[in-house]
Amino acid sequence: MKNWARASVSHDDAMVQELRNDPELAAAYLQAAMEDEEEPAVLLLALRHVADAYGMPKVAELAGIQRESLYRALSPKGNPTLRTLTAVLKAVGLRLTVIPDHPDLSRSCLSEAVVCTTVS
């Protein structure tokens, strides 16, 4: 029996390669990460994958952030500022957008300063 050595690639490396080849996937990947309200660290990991895909040194330069600072901000214990988040997104050709969480709520809930609730 032949012993075939399998080349293995980590999940992170595979994800970075996929994101590098498909900018639309990068946008969808970050969007999905932003929707995970239970675990905010998911967005940090996704942002790190996208920055790695585009080349961390290049992203840092385009974002106007020192490379070491970017690595630190996107590390597992990082806590990037809004400025860092928007600069990194801009560096990779993306931007942050905001949409209503519950589009079925009437505007009057917001304009009358009334607490609105939704029924699940």
pLDDT tens digit string along 69-100?
Answer: 999 999 989 999 999 999 999 999 999 888 78
Which sign does the torsion angle of CA 85, 65, 13, 95 carry?
Answer: positive
Rounded Cα gap, residues 92 and 48, in angstroms: 12
pTM for the predicted model, two decimal places: 0.73
Token pair of 95 as six digits: 């931007």
Cβ-contact 92, 98 below 8 angstroms: no
Q: Taking each helix axis as running N to C, give the angle between helix 11-21 and helix 23-34, from 0 to 180 degrees, rounded to the nearest 10.
A: 120
Greatest distance between any 2 Cα atoms in the chain: 76
Tell me which amino acid residue 29 is.
Answer: Y
Per residue in 46-70, pLDDT (tens digit) is 999 999 999 999 999 999 999 999 9
